[in-house]
A and B are shown apart, each in its own frame.
Chain A
Amino acid sequence: MSTANTYTEQELVQGLQNHDQQIFGYLYDHYSPALYGVVLKVLNDETAASDVLQEVFLKIWRSMDKYDTEKGRLFTWMLNIARNTAIDALRSKAHKLDQKIQELSNDVYAHTSQLTVHPSVDHLGLAKVIEKLNKEQRTIIDLAYYKGCTQEEIARVLDIPLGTVKTRMRNAIIQLRNILKQI
């Protein structure tokens, strides 16, 4: 997060496990844009995304005692809850594969139109990532992460052999890493 934390991760976890609403408010203020970004990109529908975001934070609040610091960072854990909840909602809407792809290409425009409205977005970083990550690399990451596509579905969409999906994904992430180093 760009803003300086006034709580350490340990204090946050402890506060949340003690059901401290003030700390939960702080958590919401700091992490909701990132989690909402994920949910919105999955569902591509602001109303549905708002409902799912609410559900995500309630899940975080309720299952805080299940969170294990050993297994990973708090943000990773919250992201997983957000992604899984949103993808479940997406599946219940029974989106077809081509619809998911359509949404992926649409939402880039949706975001660029909103960039001016939401100062929390890292414009420059996003622009650089979109510019430097080629279309196939971005598609392979987005289909997997935001649309919960299987390896088979990705192989079909990108018209590549099933056996190469994982290596393509590796190349995409490596490229992403190189871009991130430059930002």
Chain B
Amino acid sequence: MDVQRYISSGLIESYVVGLATDQEARELETAMAQSPEVKAAVGAAQLDMERYVQFFSIAPPESVKERIFQRLTTDGAESIVPAGGATDEAYSYPEEEVVKEKRMVGAVWQYIAAAAIIGLIASIYFNYNYRNTINEWENKYQALLFDQEKMVAQQGVHQTKMQEAEQMLERLRQSDLKMVRMYTASKTRPGLLATVYMIPRSEDAYLTVSNLPEPPADQQYQLWGIVNNKPVDAGVFDMGDATKGFQKVKYVPGAQLYAVTLEKKGGSPTPTLTAMYVAGRVGG
């Protein structure tokens, strides 16, 4: 048997204060019978507890002794019945006084406790409210902060767009601007229009789409500049940006023609002529 285990487990202390379960008590009693060390540890804890208990010693009302001895003389082998109020009236007066006094003290404490509890409840209530209000303001503040950030971001987007538009206008005002209108290249697809703006001085080119059908998901439009009958790739474009505004495309120096074909996604090295949608001549 591991003596140290019993001693450090807290079972001994629990046993002494009457906390051990029946099974635990039996186990410990067996251990006590086998080990003087365990028995000594139990005895020591018992002494501690007894000393503790004695601090709360109080002289009982004097009538009790009298009542006990009365019972002793009249007592045969009767069963034990707790004596209720069947005592001599004369002894109950001083006892009543003490009880009353104690009840008064008790009542005062009850009022104090009640006041404290009311105070506590009020405090909890106000704290709760206060916290709710704080939470509410916190949420509102976060929402405002979010809105503000969103607006700053939007403003940034608008500013960039504005600058682009201003730059675009500035370029459009330049005298050497060439506008290349590309019209329907096949009679089966009438009414199509896209335009390339060429700025030779800065070698910039912009594309805007007025009317082109939305390409299938796996295909993209590709712009070509044709120099001396040789197509030069000017980049693929998606419908979004090009239809809404001006999309920067590759400037093809010396191009006589611009054309748009529908190609596989990412573009082709040479144009698929059967899939030419629009084409236009570069003016003088």
Please give the residue numbers on chain A whose beta carbons come within 8 Å of chain B beta carbons, in ascending order: 21, 24-25, 28-29, 32-34, 36-38, 40-41, 46-47, 49-55, 57-59, 61-62, 72, 75-76, 79, 83, 89, 106, 109-111, 113-114, 118, 120-122, 125-126, 129, 141, 144-145, 148-151, 154, 165-174, 176-177, 180
Contact = CB atoms under 8 A, between A and B. Distances in A.
Secondary structure dominating the interface of A: helix
19 contacts: A34-B54, A34-B57, A37-B54, A40-B58, A46-B98, A53-B64, A58-B75, A62-B75, A79-B50, A109-B105, A110-B106, A118-B58, A126-B56, A144-B18, A144-B19, A145-B49, A150-B19, A169-B17, A173-B49
Contact of B102 (A25, A50, A110, A173): A110
A126 B55 contact: yes
A124 to B, nearest CB: 10
B50 A76 contact: yes
A37 B56 contact: yes
A41 B53 CA distance: 10
Contacts, number: 170
A41 B105 CA distance: 16
B48 interface: yes
A36 B58 contact: yes
Which among A57, A83, A180 has the greatest number of chain B C-beta atoms within 10 A? A57
Interface of B: 8-14, 16-19, 21, 44-46, 48-61, 63-65, 67-69, 71-72, 75, 80, 82-84, 95, 98-99, 102, 105-106, 109
Contact of A118 (B18, B44, B59, B82): B59
A169 B75 contact: no
B53 A79 contact: yes
Nearest to A89: B82
A47 B69 CA distance: 18
Given A32-B65, A54-B67, A62-B80, A166 B57 contact: no
Contact of A121 (B57, B71, B82, B83): B57
Contacts of B10: 165-171
B84 A121 contact: no
Contact of A177 (B17, B48, B105, B109): B48
A34 B53 contact: yes
A13 B51 CA distance: 21
Nearest to A111: B56
Given A53-B64, A122-B57, 6 more contacts: A109-B109, A118-B58, A122-B55, A170-B13, A171-B10, A173-B48
A144 B64 contact: no
A100 B134 CA distance: 39
Contacts of A75: 50
A106 B72 contact: no
B120 to A, nearest CB: 14
A28 B56 CA distance: 17
Contacts of A40: 56, 58
Contacts of B67: 54
B115 to A, nearest CB: 15
Contact of B11 (A50, A118, A166, A180): A166
Contacts of B71: 54, 58
Contacts of A57: 68
Contacts of A28: 65, 68
Contacts of B102: 46, 110, 113-114
A122 B50 CA distance: 14
A54 B68 contact: yes
Given A53-B64, A54-B71, A125 B55 contact: yes
Contact of B18 (A37, A145, A176, A177): A145
B13 to A, nearest CB: 4
Contact of A76 (B46, B54, B55, B68): B46
A53 B60 CA distance: 8
B64 A50 contact: yes
